[in-house]
A and B are shown apart, each in its own frame.
Chain A
Amino acid sequence: MSLFRGRRILAGAMTLVAAAAMTACGSKTSDEGGAAGVSADISGDTVKVGLLNSLSGTMAISEVTVRDSIMLAVEEINAAGGVLGKKIQPVGEDGGSDWPTFAEKAEKLISEDRVAAVFGCWTSASRKAVKPVFEKNKALLFYPVQYEGLEQSPYIFYTGATTNQQIVPGLDYLKAQGVKSVYLVGSDYVFPRTANKIIKAYATANGMNVLGEDYAPLGSTEFGTIVNKVKSSGAAAVFNTLNGDSNVAFFKEYKSAGLTAAAMPVVSVSIAEEEVKGIGTQYLEGQLTAWNYYQTTPGAANAKFVAAYKAKYGADKPTSDPMEAAYVGVYLWKAMVEKAGAFDVEKVRAASDGITFDAPEGLVTVDGETQHIAKTARIGKVGADGLITEVWNSGKPIEPDPYLKSYPWASGLS
């Protein structure tokens, strides 16, 4: 065979790979479903809810645990008699760490399964992908993960932190420690890019230098150059918005380069207890995280939550912030439905303002206007046992401010 022919065959191979990649990333549009929305099927003695998480792909390391804790809340509520006398029947779908798939599955849960609410999503990219689907169908999503803010949808309840409840307190903490310069490392998609825009605005207003900003594609495992850049920048700290298992590669490289938590701490906003376990405590000991909840958070509600989770999934399974926010989301939905006396989405939304729940993280209150919840900010440090211990907290729940209206430096952002 001639070399020329070999090349044509290879071109064929490349086309096939490219085509497969594009199928995986391509967007799908759908026009079905009317403006009236699809109402939930509550004819029987059960009510269906959708569970939409990545059970495969790069985000599965994080999202499987969220699914587990949603299931725990569902079982607890069912054991206590259900919602409005109906047992919750969960319908699970795998988003596969692929945003068009999330949109497709959301449509399926709403239109075909006719669920009363959907719990799930992790990355902002997946939330942005399903947002129009929920808005078009006037269906409810309970989103459990901290995110970059600057968003508000009538059909999404945000039970994780917005920026003023996580990233801003994280920066305040660094500032209080005397940190004058930071390096930003993140995954290349909407959350890290928006978060870093906010961090840069904060830095400008607070006399902090941002010495560099680098992004790696989700799932990227080659961090040699980024770590070299971080190291030679001489920054006092690193602000890490990497998501998923890129963190594994990043922290392995970080340690190999001789960088330590003592010399150059990394503040991470997407690494919780489960990820610490996955990445390896040896790579993370002493590093900082910013969240609203840790397994070690004191209180009776948390003790009960941790015990129930471990009883169901195993004593070696840690609980984490997104898991807690997902768990809380199911209970908040239950409280809203009961206050409204109906599963109807508009009635549930109208009933949401002021709903409180004695959550594992402490008392949370729903703000009906933004559909976010008031949360206590907590900075934690990874210990040798893989658990995270609080080193600072905000003392009281911080009201959600997704558009950062109360911060003058953020005026140009939204």
Chain B
Amino acid sequence: MTVLFGQLFTGISIGAVLLLIALGLALTFGQMNVINMAHGEFIMAGAYTTYVLQQSITGAGMSLLIALPVAFVVAGAMGVLLEILLIRRLYARPLDTLLVTWGVSLMLQQLARDVFGSPNVQTRAPELLTGNVALPGGLTVANNRLFILALALAAVAALTLALRLTPLGRRIRAVVQNRDLAAVSGIPTARVDRTTFFIGSGLAGLAGVALTLLGPIGPTMGTNLIIDAFLVVVVGGIGQLKGTVIVAFALGVLQATGEYLTTLSVAKVIVFVAIVAFLQWRPQGLFTLRTRSLA
């Protein structure tokens, strides 16, 4: 029983990581149809931001708290820069955004190598987050995992509320549903795009901060994450935050269960087979976006 709950929690915490890395992508790929291969490098930027702050500010706890907003802004600014310089010229050509951002991602990896060196680096976690909470029955839940779970859920809540309730959110949804109609209705679509990109990339920065609590920080860490992130968004249904959340946790639990019963490699195969089977059954993903767009 303890093992079962332990594994369930492991699955949920893998899901929380998946959710954090996929959330920004759900916005930029799902809502805007931009395939941003540099999303993984924005995550890396968030992780390195934490590292830099920790080098300059003493106290792991303080630097982690400061890192959250700073990494959001750093990664977000990188996203805006990418949007202004390249992506806005390619909104009608999604396949080109794939190639262009792939190139950008390689350049950012090299930049990271030049600035921080090739060997991966580590951050110290605040003392509070290295421990665990002991529950009855010998079950323990790790504090760093709880923190990541809370961060992921807070990000989803904030994003959902922003999209539903704020004027900006309404504009974003209008542009997503029908860009031309939104434009003739007086919505400055270019500025909305830029803001959406800022938020989406900033969320990647937050994911980067969270990942420093789990493992090493390196120039190629984004490459390992980008596939998982795309899987979650596609299986969840393009343009649907709800799907992203459900699928992130479902895949996390499936991965943890599969790994417990077999091995890590076999579990990965199980997850991929499950995804392929699911997409045969529902090619459009878990949820679909109903739009009045003509395209």
Given contacts A1-B295, A58-B120, contact A256 B144 (CB under 8 A): yes
**Whole-angstrom distance between the Cβ of B294 and the nearest chain A Cβ:** 10
Task: Let me know if A81 is at the binding interface, CB within 8 A.
Answer: no
B14 near A224 with CB under 8 A, answer yes
Interface pair B264/A225, CB less than 8 Å apart? yes
Q: Provide the B20-53 mask, 1 if CB < 8 A to any CB of A, else 0.
A: 0000000000000101010000000000000000
A255 within 8 A of B: yes
Stretch at the interface among A213-221, A305-313, A363-371: A213-221
Residues 1 to 20 of chain A near chain B (Cβ within 8 Å): 1-7, 9-10, 12-14, 16-17
- Docked pose: A58 CA to B234 CA in angstroms: 29
Q: A13-B98, A60-B120 are in contact. Are A228 and B284 (CB under 8 A)?
A: no
Q: How far in angstroms is the closest Cβ of chain A from B233?
A: 9
Alpha-carbon distance A13/B223, docked complex (angstroms):
13
B173 CB-CB contact with A under 8 Å: no
The reply to whether the CB of B130 lies closer than 8 angstroms to some CB of chain A is: yes
Closest to A222 in B: B14
Q: Quick check: is B124 within 8 A (CB to CB) of the other chain?
A: yes
Complex Cα distance, B293 from A234, in Å, reads: 59
Residues of B within 8 A of A256 (CB): 130-132, 142-145
The reply to whether B265 and A10 contact each other, CB–CB distance below 8 Å, is no
Residues of A within 8 A of B224 (CB): 219
Q: In the complex, which of the residues B120, B145, B295 contacts A61, with contact meaning CB atoms closer than 8 Å?
A: B120
Q: Which residues 257-281 in A have Cβ within 8 Å of B in the complex?
A: 257-258, 278-280
Nearest Cβ in chain B — how far from A65, in angstroms? 9
Would you give the shortest CB distance from A228 to chain B, in whole angstroms? 5
B2 CB-CB contact with A under 8 Å: yes
Flag A185-226 by CB within 8 Å of B: 1 or 0 each.
000100000000000000000000000001111011110111
Which A-B residue pairs are the 4 nearest by beta carbons? A221-B215, A56-B118, A256-B142, A249-B215
Which residues of B line the A interface, CB within 8 A?
Answer: 2-3, 6-7, 10, 13-14, 33, 35, 37, 94-95, 98-99, 102, 113, 118-120, 122, 124-125, 130-132, 134, 140, 142-145, 211, 213-216, 218-220, 223-224, 226-227, 230, 234, 238, 256, 259-260, 263-265, 267, 283-285, 288-289, 293, 295
A-B contact pairs, 6 of them (CB 8 A): A1-B33, A1-B295, A6-B238, A17-B223, A248-B215, A255-B130
Query: A224-B256, A256-B144 are known contacts; what are 11 more A-B pairs with Cβ within 8 Å?
Result: A9-B94, A9-B95, A13-B37, A16-B37, A16-B99, A17-B223, A61-B120, A221-B211, A231-B6, A256-B143, A283-B130
